[in-house]
Amino acid sequence: MEAFKKIYPEEYYRKFLVHSIRPDGRTLTAIRKTIVSAGSITSAHGSSFVKIGTTAVVCGIKAEVGKKQPEGSHLAISVELLPLCSAEFPRGKPSTQAQVLSELLNRFSEGIIDEASFQIPGEDLAWYLYIDIYCLDYNGNVFDATLLALITALSDVSLPDIHINSNKQVVASKERKNKLTILRYPISLTFGMIDEYVICDPTVEEESLHDTTFSIVVDSNRNLLGVIRPGGGGGSDNNGVIEGAELKTCIERAKQRATTVMGLVEQALQEK
């Protein structure tokens, strides 16, 4: 059995799929247990820790005061896939995947926070948030985990009051009680495709066997925000193709996932 799995991993996997089940016992549409917690890093202005199955992601947000700029984003998001999380990421230059994740998260975080939250009343200054997301354990579906960690950490952010004293220095109050006004919570659900099967929340082993992976991003109010489907390899002509009714079903699943996940986020913020 072990030999069969090693030599023919795809065939081994297909033998499970035919019975609508996966090697880890999940059905094709089941998502792994998701744990969300907020505020674990006290030195940061906002933080979160998310686990989807064994995929673990931590997010820390540091806020800095800077001169008000007429244009440009107030968020700088950086995702790092540490060598710690998987043997496939060596030390050094950020991997392609980390850069792609950073780019996607920057796009989906545009406009989700009310501009007024960044303003510092009475001064020509504004808040700039430096968001660092680290993957600690890479077991598939990192996009969902990082996006979830991002919105949880943003919800956790508390900023102090700022004023400039007589020595022209920036002084922050000891207390941090200003929360960000978050207008939208983008939440994603990632699927893998192999043959004609569409599989939710793949593990890293499954991802390597799948023809392609795609993600649907929605918000907590059931609005569709995006579909990321890079296409991929495989034998048949219909690889990576998903349209019409099937796509609608996936969008519906993503919306259900968003509702469940928002519940977890709210719980995490209350328990803090």
Asked whether position 219 contacts other proteins by CB under 8 A, the answer is yes
The 101-140 site mask, x for binding other proteins (CB under 8 A), equals -xxx-xxx-xxx--x-------------------------
Asked whether position 251 contacts other proteins by CB under 8 A, the answer is yes
Burial of 132 from C-beta contacts in 10 A (0-12 / 13-18 / 19+): middle
**Which of the stretches 15-23, 119-127, 135-143, 234-242 binds other proteins when contact is defined by CB under 8 A?**
234-242
Nearer to other proteins, 41 or 198 (CB): 198
Tokens of 201: 């929340």
CB 129 within 8 A of CB 76: yes
Count of other CB atoms within 10 angstroms of residue 70: 4
**Which of the stretches 16-24, 131-139, 165-173, 235-243 binds other proteins when contact is defined by CB under 8 A?**
235-243
Nearer to other proteins, 16 or 197 (CB): 197
Pick from 76, 82, 228, 269: which binds other proteins (CB under 8 A)? 228
Tokens of 147: 């996006």
Q: In angstroms, what CA-CA distances link 13 with 194, 197, 239, 256?
A: 10, 12, 17, 27
Pick from 35, 171, 172, 183: which binds other proteins (CB under 8 A)? 183
Asked whether position 259 contacts other proteins by CB under 8 A, the answer is no
Residues 49 and 58: their CA atoms lie apart, in Å, by: 4
CB 151 within 8 A of CB 186: yes
Tokens of 6: 């090693």
Asked whether position 82 contacts other proteins by CB under 8 A, the answer is no
Nearer to other proteins, 115 or 271 (CB): 115
Tokens of 148: 């979830």
Asked whether position 196 contacts other proteins by CB under 8 A, the answer is no
**From the CB of 210, what's the least distance to other proteins, in Å?**
12
Asked whether position 80 contacts other proteins by CB under 8 A, the answer is no
Pick from 54, 86, 99, 178: which binds other proteins (CB under 8 A)? 99
Q: Which of residues 142-161 bind other proteins (CB under 8 A)?
A: none
Beta-sheet strand order (sheet of 186-194): 197-200, 186-194, 212-219
Residues 114 and 145: their CA atoms lie apart, in Å, by: 24
Query: Which sign, positive or negative, has the C-alpha torsion 166, 168, 172, 178?
Result: positive
Residue ranges in contact with other proteins by CB under 8 A: 96-97, 99-100, 102-104, 106-108, 110-112, 115, 183-184, 211-212, 217, 219, 221, 223-234, 237-241, 243, 251
